[in-house]
Copies of this chain bind each other. A is one copy, B any other.
Amino acid sequence: MKIALAQLNYHIGNFEFNTQKIISNIEAAKGKGADLVVFAELAICGYPPRDFLEFDEFISLCENAAREIAKHCTDIACIVGLPVRNDVLQGKDLFNAAYFIEGGKVKAITKKALLPTYDVFDEYRYFEPATRFKCIDFKGKRIALTICEDLWNINDNPLYVSNPMDELIKEQPDVMINIAASPFSYTHDEERIRVLADNAKKYKLPLFYVNQIGAQTEIIFDGGSLVFDAEGEKKAEMKSFEEDLQVFDLEEVESVRNKYPEGPRATDIEQIHDALILGIRDYFKKSGFTKAVLGLSGGIDSAVVCALACRALGAENVMAVLMPSKFSSDHSVQDALGLANNIGCMHEIIPIKEAAEAFDHMLAPAFKGLPFNLTEENIQARIRGTVLMAMSNKFGYILLNTSNKSECAVGYGTLYGDMCGAIGVIGDVYKTQVFELAKYINKEREIIPVNTIVKPPSAELRPDQKDSDSLPDYGILDKILYEHIELKKGSARIVAAGYDEALVTRILKMVNIAEFKRYQTPPILRVSPKAFGMGRRMPIVGKYMI
Contact = CB atoms under 8 A, between A and B. Distances in A.
A291 interface: no
Interface of A: 11-14, 17, 46, 48-52, 54-58, 61, 89-93, 115, 117-118, 122, 124-125, 128, 157-161, 216-217, 282-283, 286-287, 348, 350-352, 354-355, 357-359, 361-363, 365-367, 370, 373-375, 378-379, 382-383, 385-387, 389-391, 393-394, 415-416, 420, 422, 488-493, 516, 519-523, 534, 536-545
Given A50-B538, A117-B117, A386 B379 contact: yes
B50 A490 contact: no
A245 B489 CA distance: 37
Given A13-B544, A543-B11, A544-B58, A393 B415 contact: no
How many copies of this chain sit in the oligomeric assembly? 2
Among A89, A516, A537, A543, residue most surrounded by chain B Cβ atoms (within 10 Å): A543
**Residue of A17, A357, A382, A386 with most chain B CB atoms under a 10 A cut-off:** A386
Contacts of A394: 363, 366-367, 370, 373, 375
A63 to B, nearest CB: 14
Nearest to A378: B393
Nearest to A57: B490
A525 to B, nearest CB: 12
Closest 6 pairs between A and B when the two form their complex, measured CB to CB: A13-B544, A57-B490, A12-B542, A358-B358, A375-B393, A14-B543
A57 B492 contact: yes
Nearest to A376: B390
Nearest to A521: B520
Contacts of A12: 539, 541-544
Given A350-B363, A385-B416, A534-B537, 5 more contacts: A56-B489, A350-B365, A350-B366, A362-B387, A370-B394
A373 B158 CA distance: 57
Contacts of A543: 11-14, 17, 286
| Residue of A217, A354, A540 with most chain B CB atoms under a 10 A cut-off | A540
Contacts of A416: 382, 385-386, 389, 416, 420
Contacts of A49: 539, 542
13 contacts: A12-B544, A13-B545, A54-B488, A56-B488, A56-B489, A57-B490, A61-B544, A117-B117, A350-B366, A357-B358, A362-B387, A366-B391, A385-B416
Contact of A56 (B17, B287, B389, B493): B493
Contacts of A90: 158, 160-161
Given A12-B539, A91-B160, A354-B361, A389 B393 contact: no
Contacts of A539: 12-13, 46, 48-50, 52, 216-217
A186 to B, nearest CB: 21
Given A57-B492, A350-B366, A520-B522, A51 B537 contact: yes
Contacts of A488: 54-56
A312 to B, nearest CB: 14
A382 B385 contact: yes
Contact of A542 (B46, B89, B367, B522): B46
Contacts of A216: 539, 541-542
Contacts of A491: 57
A493 B57 CA distance: 9
Contacts of A542: 11-14, 46, 49-50, 52, 216, 286
A106 B501 CA distance: 34
- Kindly name the residue among A93, A382, A387 whose own CB sees the greatest number of chain B CB atoms within 10 A: A382
Nearest to A49: B539
Contacts of A14: 542-544
B386 A390 contact: no
